[in-house]
Amino acid sequence: MCGVVGVLHSYLSNDVLVDAAYDVYRSLLTLQHRGQDAAGIVGYDFTTRKFHSHKDLGLVGQVFNEKVLSKLSGDMAIGHTRYATTGSDSKLDLQPLVTGFPVGLGIAHNGNILNYHEVSRFFSQDRGNQLLTNNDIELFQNFWCQSFSQYKDNFLGALIHGATEIVDKLRGAYALVGMVSDEGLFALRDPNGIRPLVLGQKREGNRLSWMVASETVSMNFLGFEYVRDVLPGELIFIDKKGELFSKILTKGHVAKPCMFEWVYFSGAESSIENQSVYGVRLNLGIGLAKQVKPFIESGEISPDIVCPVPDTSRTSAISLAEELGLPYREGLIKNRYTQRSFILKDQEARERAIELKLSPVVSEIQGKNILLVDDSIVRGSTSIKIIKLLKKYGAKEITLAISCPPLKHACFYGVDFPDPNQLVARNKTNDELAEYIGAKRVIYLTEENLKKGIGLEDVCMGCLDGEYPTPTDGSEEFKRRREEHKKSLALECL
C-alpha cells in the first residue's frame, strides 16, 4: 500500500509558471499514512524538456527540503510514498520510476501485481529485456515502452495499447499515475478498482491545474475541487493544454474497492467512491453497538466506559459510545511521533513500536470495566500488549470490540499479511481469542454490518472470506518469494 499523486499545470495564456513538484510534495505530506518507507518526486519541465527527480528512503519531510524541491522544476510532476510489499529497500526499487527511451516516461503506482514473477519471466526470458529492479512497477514500464516503440507516430494509440496490454496481462491491484515527456499526465486503475484513485481540478487566473491522487485529502489540502473517482479499468490522459481524454479498457468487471481502506488505511478526512471515510467509520461503530447491546442487556458484560485504541478506531468508538449511551473516554494517548505498528516490517519492530507509542491515562481507566474499540486484529500482539497495559494501570475487565470482521486470509493486493498463519483469528474461535489476548470477550463486526456501514454491496473482502476479485494463480510463488524477502531483510537487521 502506497500513496501516489500527479499534478499538471496548464496555462490558458502566458503566466508565471508554478512548479508542480511543490504541490506534489504537499500532497505527499497528506498521504504519509499510506507509506513510510520512502518517498519520491519526479518533475518534468515542458520548456527545457527535462525530467528532475529525487527519491530516498525515509519520510516525506526527511527526504525533501526547500533546496531539493527548488531543483524539481516543471509544470508537471508525480510523487510516491512507499510501503514496500514487493521489491526491496534498495534505492533502485523506489518510485517514481523514470526512463528516457523510447519516450520520456515516469510512473508510480499503489497496489500489487500477483503474477509479477510470471510476467517478469516473460520479459526477461522471452523478450530478453534486462529488468533492473525487483519492483512490479517495472512491468508497467516494459509494457508501455514496448508499445511506444511499436506505435512511434501515434502517442495516444501507444498509450492506450500499452494500457490495454497491462489490463489484459497483469493480475492484481494498481492505481497508477504517470507522465510522458512533451505530452502530459496520465492515470490508470485496475479493472476492479481495488485501490483508490481520485481526480481533481483547480482554476486560478489563467492556470488550469489537474490532480490525480490516492485520496481526496490531498485535494482538499491544496484547494483542488474533487471531480470524480478514476473508474475501475479507466485510462485517463490530460495533455499539456489541460484537455482530458478518458477510455474504459475493460468490460464486465465488477468494482471491488478494498474494504480495509475505509476501516483502517485511508485518512478519516478522505472520501472513497463518494463514501466519506469518517462517515463510514461512524456507521461501523453504530453497527458494532447493535451487536454489543445484547451482551450488555444479558448482563454478561457491564462496561463503564468506551475507549478507543488510537487513532483509526476513535471515530467508530465515538458513535458506538453514543449509540450505547456510555461515556467515551480516551484511556490511551498515542505518541504521534512513532510509526504505525502494522506498517512496520517485522514482528520485533512492531512490538517495540507498541511499547513506545501508547501511554495510559490512569485517571480514566483505574477501576473501570472497559469496552475497548479497535479497527482490526492482525497478529494479536498489539491487543495482548494493550490489554496488559490497561490492566497494569488498574482496568478491571476489558471487552474488545472490533470494527471489522475477523481477518483470516492473505491479501495479494498491497497489504502486508500474505501468510495467513500469522493471522490470529484464523485458527481460533472468538472465546479462544479472548482468552489468548486476556479479554473478557471479543466482539467482531459482522460482514453484513461492514457492507451496510460502507454503503456498497460490492467491496473486496478477500482477507475476510477468501473470495478474491481476481484469479489468484501465482499466489503461492508470490507468498514464497515475499517470505524469503522478509527473511533476508530480518537477517540484514541482525
Q: How many residues bind ligand SF4 (CB under 6 A)?
A: 11
Judged by CB under 6 A, the chain residues 349 through 388 that form the site for ligand SF4 are: none
Among 179, 398, 415, 433, binds ligand SF4 (CB under 6 A): 415
Judged by CB under 6 A, the chain residues 135 through 194 that form the site for ligand SF4 are: 194
Per residue, the 3-state secondary structure of the chain, as one string, reads CCEEEEEEEEECCCCCCCCHHHHHHHHHHHCHHHCCCEEEEEEEECCCCEEEEEEEECCHHHHCCHHHHHCCCCCEEEEEEECCCCCCCCHHHCCCEEECCCCCEEEEEEEEECCHHHHHHHHHHHCCCCCCCCCCHHHHHHHHHHHHHHCCCCHHHHHHHHHHHHHHHCCEEEEEEEEECCCEEEEEECCCCCCCCEEEEEEECCEEEEEEECCHHHHHHHCCEEEEECCCCEEEEEECCCCEEEEECCCCCCCCCEHHHHHHHCCCCCEECCEEHHHHHHHHHHHHHHHHHHHHHCCCCCCCEEEECCCCCHHHHHHHHHHHCCCECCCEEECCCCCCCCCCCCHHHHHHHHHHHEEECHHHHCCCEEEEEECCCCCCHHHHHHHHHHHHCCCCEEEEEECCCCCCCCCCCCCCCCCHHHCCCCCCCHHHHHHHHCCCEEEECCHHHHHHHHCCCCCECHHHHCCCCCCCCCHHHHHHHHHHHHHHHHHHHC
Q: Is 307 designated active site?
A: no
CB of 135 to ligand SF4, least distance (A): 19
Among 52, 463, 470, 474, binds ligand SF4 (CB under 6 A): 463
* Residue 39 engages ligand SF4 in binding (rule: CB under 6 A): no
493 assigned binding-site residue: no
404 assigned binding-site residue: no
Q: Which is nearer to ligand SF4, 123 or 260 (CB)?
A: 260
* Residue 63 engages ligand SF4 in binding (rule: CB under 6 A): no
CB of 466 to ligand SF4, least distance (A): 9
Q: Which is nearer to ligand SF4, 245 or 417 (CB)?
A: 417
* Residue 461 engages ligand SF4 in binding (rule: CB under 6 A): yes
CB of 461 to ligand SF4, least distance (A): 5
258 assigned binding-site residue: yes
* Residue 258 engages ligand SF4 in binding (rule: CB under 6 A): yes
460 assigned binding-site residue: yes
Judged by CB under 6 A, the chain residues 269 through 328 that form the site for ligand SF4 are: none
Among 160, 462, 474, 482, binds ligand SF4 (CB under 6 A): 462
Judged by CB under 6 A, the chain residues 65 through 104 that form the site for ligand SF4 are: none
Q: Which is nearer to ligand SF4, 191 or 462 (CB)?
A: 462
Among 11, 148, 413, 444, binds ligand SF4 (CB under 6 A): 413
CB of 457 to ligand SF4, least distance (A): 14
CB of 375 to ligand SF4, least distance (A): 12
CB of 272 to ligand SF4, least distance (A): 12
Q: Which residues are annotated as a binding site for Mg(2+)?
A: 312, 374-375
Residues that bind ligand SF4 (CB under 6 A): 194, 258-260, 411, 413, 415, 460-463
**Catalytic residue annotation:** 2
